[in-house]
Structure 1
């Protein structure tokens, strides 16, 4: 599950304003380079067609899915706290949760793809190897 925790106003290349929803995947514990654990959470932004009032009302809403790390083309990022310029090759993005029926469909497709799973003559024949 992810939770909408905030929203931000952004602009398209042609100057039109729109809002993005900031989502969080919840708390996770990470071990630092000094072997100490700290709490953090993966966050991502989702573009929306909502107005500001709707975005504000959606804060706290939970949705099925997760925030996952996806590889992307390299880009530069400035760390706000230190001003350091770093090059990143990943982004965190929202990934909707697959429905149970969709998972079942994929399992059936995998089974059907293996033609050796079924009898070819309509009769079950056990083979014994000696």
Structure 2
């Protein structure tokens, strides 16, 4: 399950404004590479919508089936807000709807037959 935490205004490739949803996974444990200590975190992802601002805002707090996964991406620079440190990342976090993922798998299997 993911929960809609906030909305975010963005621009499409034509420079037009649209609203997206910031969705967050449930809590998960991870182990720090530096200290070896375990801590809790949650992953977030941006999901584009065709909604106006009011409709997008009305979804804050709504839960959807699915999860957030790490996917490879072209390397890009990211600034850590708390420290100002600039790091290079080569992944992004993406929302996955299990129903759509199942549909894609079925289409691929039919194509192979």
TM-score (norm. length: structure 1): 0.72
CA-CA distance at 1:85 after TM superposition: 1.2
Q: Considering only CA atoms, is the larger Rg found in Structure 1 or Structure 2?
A: 1
Deviates more, 1:39-48 or 1:79-88: 79-88
Unaligned runs of 5+ residues in structure 2 are none
Query: After TM superposition, what 4+ stretches of structure 1 lie above 6 angstroms from structure 2?
Result: none
TM-score (norm. length: structure 2): 0.82
Q: Write out aligned runs for 1:16-95 (5 A).
A: 16-32=16-32, 33-95=34-96
Q: Which has the higher strand share?
A: 2
Aligned match of 1:8: 8
Unaligned runs of 5+ residues in structure 1 are 114-130
Give the length in aligned residue pairs: 105
When the two chains are superposed, the root-mean-square deviation of aligned CA atoms in Å is 2.1
CA-CA distance at 1:35 after TM superposition: 2.7
